[in-house]
Structure 1
């Protein structure tokens, strides 16, 4: 029973860490230990570690840690790429070592030995495509091309020069401080890819997320079927009911079956839990980016739009407050003022409740055109090149 309890505790701790890290800033967890764990994981641990190093090794030790942080976080480096390859390679290795001995089995055919390898190979190929493809680097030689592809909306994008590259910044572009280049339709810099996600490789990035979600689900279901096949082939349910007198019902059999699986196939159970957790994380990340693609918005633009909407809301609230104050003063100075019921004035809507701020995204052309823009970037389309040649 010792191994079973260790596995249960491991699963609970893993779930707590994942939920705290991803959801600790949600309002529902405000003031709870989930929020405190999130703060510790994202800021507190590193801050305490830096202080500890400074106290033990002095300023030189702290500077060494900061230099490592600069290398890992503030400049291009292949560290996370190596970690990704190590994770996917070691996971597949453990799947082969622990599961291929039971394939073919009761529920799985022999072809899964080859389809699993093919699925992993396609995932690595998408990783390499996203990592080493051009995200849409804006240079002096092609800046006019991107200016034609992405006009300014004069809301969150206006004509301005990049202070680093000394060229006009096309709308929807951003200068990446890590890669030190301007990227068209900039979404974010992905450390796992050691590359920016921009106009030309968003399609590969989305395919990478979707494929790896399906890959994790495939692994979860396949290993589950391996375990189910072992239950069937070894007649575990029959032995429990006939020889041990366990009632033939799910509630009675489940604890005994789980105990047997944890004791006999703990590696496979850990793989199922790991792949299921990663699949859920990838599903959430893919869903978030899919929503952005459907509305033709980037991660970078969500912050710009949020700042703009907040500014517009405050401006309109100030205007509404000023207008309400003006009407109140005019009402006080008028000769005849109608009597207003206290109940009516109590339930009367505040002018601030009528303040509505509309997001006017000119780049949103309908979800079909938005998806097509991700699949076929504007700057690569022949029609845009022909139009540019005619105009010149």
Structure 2
């Protein structure tokens, strides 16, 4: 029983670490131990490590560590791409080694040996397509076309020049400091892809997220069916009820079946839990980006809108405060002004109450148009190409 509990504890700790690392900054975890674990994993542990290196080995070693950090975090590098290939390859290897011996089985046919390999191959293909495709690089040749495709809204985007590329900066674009290029309809720089996610490859990125969620769901269900098949083939329920006298009810059988599964198929259960956790994270990430696509917004623009709304709110509060101060001064000066009812003053809305600032996203042109813009970006359309030829 000690081994089973050790496996359960290992799975729970792994789940907490993975969720904390990937989702610790989500608003739902604010102020919780998940956020504190995330801070320790992403900042605290590294800060303590730097101090330790500086105190024990001196500043030269600390400078060497900082150089490695600069290469890994601030420059294009294939480290996370390699990590992805290792994770998906090792996971598939363990799934094949631990589960293929029971396929075909009671619930699964032999075709799943090949469909699983095909699913992983398609996932790797989408990964390569997203990683090595052009995200929509803005240069002197196509900048006028992108300016026509994405007009300035004069709210969060106004006419300006990229200080690095020295070309006009189209609306919705951003100069990526890691890739050192301007990217049209910039969403974010993805370290896993070693590439920016922009106007041209958002569709590949969304397909990558959706497909890998489906792979994790498929793997979780398939392993669950393998274990359920083993229960039927080995007649575990009959053995527990007939030979061990356990009552044939869910509450009595479940603990014994779980104990038997953890003792006999612990590798399969760990793989199933791992795939389920990664699948839930991918589902959340895909849902977030799907919402952005439906509203024709990017990750970069969500921060810009937050800054704009906060600035508008502070500006509105300052104007209301100034108006309230002016009215109070006028009230003091006006001696003949009749006193208002106390009940009316009690129920009167305070001028300092927050006023709702409406986000006016001019790029949101409706559900179908927004989806079409992701599936068929402007730069892939015939009109964009014709404008590019005319500009020459």
Do the structures match in fold with TM over 0.5?
yes
Aligned to 2:45: 45
Distance in 1 (alpha carbons) for counterparts of 2:36 and 2:78: 31
1:122-161 equivalences under 5 Å are 122-161=122-161
In structure 1, distance between residues paired with 2:260 and 2:54:
50
> 1:381, CA displacement in angstroms?
1.3
Using a 3 Å threshold, how does the CA distance of structure 1 residues 90 and 304 change in structure 2: closer, same or farther? Answer: same
For residues 352-371 of structure 1, the aligned pairs below 5 Å read: 352-353=352-353, 355-371=355-371
User: TM-score by structure 2 length?
Assistant: 0.95
Cα RMSD between the aligned structures? 1.8
| Correspondence 1:42-121 to 2 at 5 A | 42-121=42-121
Structure 2 residue 328 is the aligned partner of structure 1 residue 324: no
1:282 counterpart = 2:282: yes
Cα pair distance change 1:344/1:237, threshold 3 Å? farther
Structure 1 range deviating more: 330-339 or 109-118: 330-339
Q: Where do 5+ consecutive residues of structure 1 fail to align? A: none
Cα gap change, 1:121 to 1:388, in 2 (>3 Å): closer
Q: CA deviation at 1:353?
A: 2.7
Deviation of 1:34 (Å): 3.5
How far apart are residue 163 of structure 1 and its match?
Answer: 1.0
Cα distance in 2, alignment partners of residues 94 and 25 from structure 1: 31
Which stretch has the larger CA shift, 165-174 or 348-357? 348-357
Other structure's SS at 2:353 match: helix
- Once the two structures are TM-superposed, the CA of residue 360 in structure 1 deviates from its matched residue by 1.0
* Matched residue, 2:199: 199
Listed as ranges, the matches of 1:301-340 within 5 Å are: 301-340=301-340
Secondary structure of 1:110's counterpart equals: coil
User: Match for residue 179 of structure 1?
Assistant: 179
Q: Call closer, same or farther: CA 1:113–1:319 in 2, change over 3 Å.
A: same
Could you report, residue by residue, the CA deviation over 1:326-369 in whole angstroms, capped at 9, with x for unpaired residues? 22333333344444444543443222336121111111111110
SS of structure 1 residue aligned to 2:349:
coil
Describe the shift of the 1:372–1:58 C-alpha distance in structure 2 as closer, same or farther (beyond 3 A).
same
Quote the Cα distance in structure 1 between the aligned partners of 2:338 and 2:18: 61
- C-alpha distance in structure 2 between counterparts of 1:156 and 1:311, whole Å: 11
Whole-Å Cα distance in 2 between the matches of residues 19 and 86 of structure 1? 20
For structure 2, the 5+ residue unaligned runs are none
SS in 1 for 2:182: strand
Report how far residue 266 of structure 1 moved. Answer: 0.3
Structure 1 runs of 4+ off > 6 angstroms? 388-392
**Equivalents in 2 of 1:175, 1:80: separation in Å?**
22
Q: Please give the per-residue CA displacement for 1:2-46, whole angstroms capped at 9, x wherever unaligned.
A: 211111111221232234334544666555444332221121100
* Deviation, structure 1 residue 386: 4.1
Matching residue of 1:5: 5
- 1:390 deviates by 7.0
Whole-Å Cα distance in 2 between the matches of residues 354 and 30 of structure 1?
A: 24
Aligned counterpart, 1:234:
234
Matches of 2:103 and 2:388, distance apart in 1: 58
1:149/1:17 CA distance change after superposition, 3 Å? same
* Structure 1 match to 2:258: 258
Secondary structure at 2:157 match in 1: coil
Matched, 1:14 2:4: no
Show CA shifts across 1:42-87 (max 9, x none): 2110000011111111111101111111111111111100000000
Q: How many residues are matched?
A: 392
SS of equivalent to 2:11: helix
Deviation at 1:95, TM superposition (A): 0.6
d(CA) in 1 for partners of 2:284, 2:93: 26
